[in-house]
Homo-oligomer: A and B are copies of this chain.
Amino acid sequence: MDKIRRMDRLVILAKYLTNKPSHLYSLGEFADVFGCAKSTLSEDISLIRTALESSGAGTLETIAGAAGGVRYLPCRPDSAMHEILVKLAAVFSSPDRIIPGGFLYMSDVLFSPEQMVEAGEIFFQRFAPLAPDYILTVETKGIPLALMTARAFNIPLVMARQGNKVTEGSTVSINYLTGSAKRIQTMSVSRRALPAGAKVLVIDDFMKAGGTARGLIDLASEVGANVVGTGVLIATDQPEKKLVDDFTALLMLYKIDEVSKQIDIRPAI
């Protein structure tokens, strides 16, 4: 009977923990749900940690003390991370993705929940040591990536808007120069969404000259928040000098050739 109970608990615990990455559950919560002792749960958690780690599916972190508990951290071996990026690069390399004007059609991937979950977890793994409090992005196409990154960290996503929106209440806005098209645009963020002093991780789908990322960094500093890192799914190789000094791209785009129908895109980490 106890064996069956343990198996049920392992399944439910594995589900709860891995479905909410970085979410801290107290052992007391689980003890109430399962009607068992915390010492029994500690054994369960140790079994789950071993199973996850041995299959490269992440790990559990236990935090001692009254405010402590256990949480799932979605970490992969470097080889598994690399494999994901190689596959993603292959998807983006398909010649039928070239759009007149030399653009890359990306929307299907950017709006694929499964692929954005994986990319978000890779950002988590890269940026976890910086311990950000908020993810910041700007509408529109980077939202799913930023949302899944926020999910992996279990922190709020804040979205800057193009222009000013009446439904956001009081906002702070800046003007910024889009790096590639050299146009002046406005972006704004709700005052109540991003407090002064917050540590912010900027996430976006694409970086060419870095104007948008620069704008997000300026916007964050305008509300007194601190950008601790910048992550993009794809950065272009050129221009080499970007408007932000320090960023992590998962993929680097070297070439799109409309005539020869060639796309050269490769993992960048």
Contacts and interface: CB of A to CB of B under 8 A. Distances in A.
A167 B99 contact: yes
A183 to B, nearest CB: 13
Given A113-B157, A139-B139, A8 B147 contact: no
Copies of this chain present: 2
Interface residues of A, number: 59
A11 B51 contact: yes
A51 B8 CA distance: 5
Contact of A51 (B7, B54, B169): B7
Contacts of A158: 111
B14 A113 contact: no
Nearest to A167: B103
A15 B12 contact: no
A199 interface: no
Contacts of A147: 111, 113, 116, 143-144, 147
Given A3-B3, A100-B169, 8 more contacts: A12-B57, A99-B167, A99-B169, A105-B169, A111-B147, A114-B154, A117-B151, A140-B159
Closest 7 CB pairs of A and B: A113-B151, A11-B51, A14-B14, A8-B51, A111-B157, A99-B169, A15-B18
